[in-house]
Amino acid sequence: MPLQSEFILETCELTKAFKGFVAVSSVNLKVKRGSIHALIGPNGAGKTTTFNLLTKFLAPTSGTITFNGADITSEKPAEIARRGIVRSFQISATFPHLTVLENVRIGLQRELGTSFHFWKSEKSLEQLNGRAMELLESVDLASFAKTVTVELPYGRKRALEIATTLALDPELMLLDEPTQGMGHEDVGRVVDLIRKVSANRTILMVEHNLGVVADLSDTITVLARGAVLAEGPYSEVSKNPLVLEAYVGSEQQ
Amino acid sequence: MLTRTQWGFIALIVAGVLAPHLGVYPTFLMKCWCLALFACAFNLLLGYTGLLSFGHAAFIGAAGYIAGYSIKAWGLSPELGILAGTAFAGVLGYLFGSLAIRRAGIYFAMITLALAQMLYFVWLQMKFTGGEDGLQGVPRGKLFGVIDLADTLNLYYFVFAIFIVGFLLIYRTIHSPFGQVLKSIRENEPRAISLGYDVDKYKLLAFVLSAALAGLAGATKTVVFQLASLTDAHWHTSGEVVLMTLLGGLGTVFGPVVGAFVVVGLQNQLADKVGSWVQVIMGAIFVVCVLAFRRGIVGEWMTLFSRKR
């Protein structure tokens, strides 16, 4: 294990241009180990693009991304997942026609090393059921274990998504708008859940709901027009005149 | 207590063993079993991995030629000839799959179609295939050097056994750790990637398995009809397997078997009554199936059954 630096994830001059339009421009981001870090900004600020660059679903035009001191700029999404960076998606990402238990097991089964074994019975996966049930219990879904996922209410699907992500025990969790499209009660449930799972790991999230951001995050990075506008704790950032202008300005449009 | 699938499997075995004694024409049955295996192999890819290949004729056709040629020209025994055809289809599946899975959706389908058409013209030009006439007069030979396959009943049970082995292998694949990953790719590919799965490798293995099993069907069919022809390699065959699978029930274990029997049965019954109108009737059935019962025969029946309970 190399000497652990203070920052788990760093980007250096990260830039993404789409046919002349620069969506993300020279972003230098440092995510502190063990913190909850939020990425906010008005619509079109480049949050989701940055997020997709970090999770390798998009390739950057220039710049580097470093995770735990290793350059991961040119790695594939599945590779960084195996390094311990696991993402969630804006719209709940489950496997709808598998049961809730099977969903979590997909997250767990890769470690068995039998995922290419087409001649083996799926009963061999039952040894994972205990661990899967623990994970489901941690998100209050144990009683739904045998339900086909498509039948779960939306908030529950998000909880299942988090349980599946936790199955990989990621060092860094990337959450893409975890409370998007949720009713008030569900938001509270997910906020509690994020706080609970943030123990012993780092969380970087993109979030629109400023209440959630204020409540959860240690550090906030504000993006506007693809560049970093401000960074710091909520109390500082929320008073920054540039940030206020960016938000008010965008609301007037 | 047996599950519904186990009951279905018992019914399938009993029907398969008894059918030739109940007055059903064995050659017709053998054709059905071969195409049922072909459709099941196709279903592994479309129904359980979510990949629509429009070039599966390449595998059933190629395996037919290789099995036919190796038995006729090199004097291989039928079981070795069938193995050779199956292996060739598997290698071909690896080559086609490596190229095609780089793209998704309609592009994937088009690449498989283009590759299959290329191969069709290769067979048309090559000497050993007999071109338009086909590779004729493939001897049936003796299974393991003992059992004479010229006897129709012997041949029938040999073909039925091959179908059962292929069917069980597909069933096991669907219900294996690998099958779980395939289903997760079908359901939500970006999510499977984000959980650390190199989805392309899984898709490729599924493609190779499907191609090899389609080849097994093609090679067996050649032994039955003592003929390997361009018909099997033609894109028509690729379309027909889509029809069989959708009609019977996409993503169901027994659906493709039912679909294959219905399609082959109708073609058999109608061929001498309505002539080339068969194609029109098949087209009409396809439209009705897509509009009225999308889950296919087995799929709709299962939905009905679970609603009643």
For residue range B18-47, what is the model confidence (pLDDT) as tens digits? Answer: 988 888 889 999 999 999 999 999 999 999
**Cα dihedral A67, A70, A75, A76 sign:** negative
Q: Do A168 and B202 touch (CB under 8 A)?
A: no
- At residue A2, does pLDDT exceed 80? no
**Cα dihedral B12, B47, B115, B265 sign:** positive
Task: State mean pLDDT over A235-241.
Answer: 85
Please check whether residue B143 lies inside any domain of the structure. yes
Contact A14, A26 (CB under 8 A): yes
Distance (Å, rounded) from C-alpha A141 to C-alpha A133? 9
Q: On the CB side of A85, how many CA atoms lie within 13 Å of its CA?
A: 27
Is the domain of A83 the same as that of A100? no
Question: Residue A191 sits in which domain range?
Answer: 7-93+173-252
Please check whether residue B210 lies inside any domain of the structure. yes
- At residue A253, does pLDDT exceed 50? no
Helix H or strand E segment including B110: helix B105-125
Is the domain of A109 the same as that of A54? no
For A122, the closest of B175, B196, B199 (CB atoms) is: B175
Both tokens of B80, joined, read 């070795």
Please check whether residue B36 lies inside any domain of the structure. yes
Is the domain of A16 the same as that of A28? yes
CA distance A162 to chain B (A): 12
Both tokens of B102, joined, read 């780089």
What does the pLDDT look like over B257-273, one tens digit per residue? 999 999 999 888 887 88
Tell me the angle at which helices B235-248 and B255-274 cross, rounded to the nearest 10 degrees. Answer: 120
Residue-averaged pLDDT of chain A: 87
Please check whether residue A161 lies inside any domain of the structure. no
For B176, the closest of A98, A105, A118 (CB atoms) is: A118
Please check whether residue B269 lies inside any domain of the structure. no
CATH assignment at residue A76: 3.40.50.300
Contact residues, chain A, for B198 at CB < 8 Å: 76, 78
Contact A172, A32 (CB under 8 A): no
Question: Residue B207 sits in which domain range?
Answer: 26-233
- At residue B59, does pLDDT exceed 90? yes
Contact B20, B147 (CB under 8 A): no
Number of domains making up chain A:
2
Q: Give the residue among B62, B81, B74 at the shortest CA–CA distance from B229.
A: B62
pLDDT score for B272:
80
Is the domain of A103 the same as that of A217? no
pLDDT score for B307:
65
Q: Give the residue among A142, A211, A144, A143 at the shortest CA–CA distance from A182.
A: A211
**Residues of chain B above pLDDT 70, percent:** 99
Is the domain of A120 the same as that of A226? no
Q: Give the residue among A85, A102, A94 at the shortest CA–CA distance from B188.
A: A94
**ipTM confidence score:** 0.84
Amino acid at B276: S
- At residue A1, does pLDDT exceed 80? no
Question: Within an 8 Å CB–CB cutoff, is residue A94 touching chain B?
Answer: yes
pLDDT score for A243:
83
Q: On the CB side of B135, how many CA atoms lie within 13 Å of its CA?
A: 31
Q: Give the residue among A179, A172, A219, A215 at the shortest CA–CA distance from A195.
A: A215
Please check whether residue B228 lies inside any domain of the structure. yes
**For residue A235, how far is the Cα from the chain centroid?**
23
Question: Within an 8 Å CB–CB cutoff, is residue A90 touching chain B?
Answer: no
Distance (Å, rounded) from C-alpha B37 to C-alpha B256? 8
Please check whether residue B292 lies inside any domain of the structure. no
Is the domain of A189 the same as that of A144? no
Helix H or strand E segment including A174: strand A172-176
What does the pLDDT look like over B117-154, one tens digit per residue? 999 999 999 888 888 888 888 888 878 878 888 888 88
What does the pLDDT look like over A208-218, one tens digit per residue? 888 888 889 99
Question: Cα dist. A176→A64, A75, B83, B225 in Å?
Answer: 21, 20, 50, 58
Question: Cα dist. A68→A6, A196, B274 in Å?
Answer: 9, 23, 72
Count interface pairs A-B at CB distance under 8 A. 103
Q: Do A118 and B192 touch (CB under 8 A)?
A: no
Is the domain of A16 the same as that of A87? yes
What does the pLDDT look like over B201-249, one tens digit per residue? 999 999 999 999 999 999 999 999 999 888 898 998 999 999 999 999 9
Q: Do A110 and B194 touch (CB under 8 A)?
A: no
β-bridge partners, A12: A64
Residue-averaged pLDDT of chain B: 91
Number of domains making up chain B:
1
- At residue B160, does pLDDT exceed 90? yes
Is the domain of A41 the same as that of A80? yes
Please check whether residue B104 lies inside any domain of the structure. yes
pLDDT score for B70:
94
Contact residues, chain A, for B207 at CB < 8 Å: none
Task: State mean pLDDT over A19-47.
Answer: 88
Is the domain of A66 the same as that of A115? no
Contact B173, B130 (CB under 8 A): no
Task: State mean pLDDT over A195-209.
Answer: 89
Q: Residue B163's pLDDT band (boundaries 50, 70, 90)?
A: very high
Is the domain of A89 the same as that of A100? no
Phi-psi region of A94 (alpha: psi -120 to 50; beta: other; left: phi over 0): beta
Question: Within an 8 Å CB–CB cutoff, is residue B172 touching chain A?
Answer: yes
Which B residues 205-264 touch A at CB under 8 Å?
A: 205, 209
What does the pLDDT look like over A81-129, one tens digit per residue? 999 999 888 777 899 999 999 999 999 999 888 889 999 888 889 899 9
Distance (Å, rounded) from C-alpha B241 to C-alpha B40? 9
Q: Give the residue among B253, B241, B244 at the shortest CA–CA distance from B60.
A: B241
Please check whether residue A163 lies inside any domain of the structure. no
Q: On the CB side of A19, how many CA atoms lie within 13 Å of its CA?
A: 0
pLDDT score for B24:
84
Distance (Å, rounded) from C-alpha A76 to C-alpha A68? 17
For A87, the closest of B184, B194, B197 (CB atoms) is: B194
Is the domain of A28 the same as that of A106? no
Contact residues, chain B, for A86 at CB < 8 Å: 194-196
Q: Give the residue among A9, A139, A11, A176 at the shortest CA–CA distance from A83.
A: A9
Contact residues, chain A, for B185 at CB < 8 Å: none
Backbone angles phi, psi at A29, to 5 degrees: -120, 135
Please check whether residue B2 lies inside any domain of the structure. no
Distance (Å, rounded) from C-alpha A225 to C-alpha A11? 17
pLDDT score for A250:
54
Is the domain of A89 the same as that of A105? no
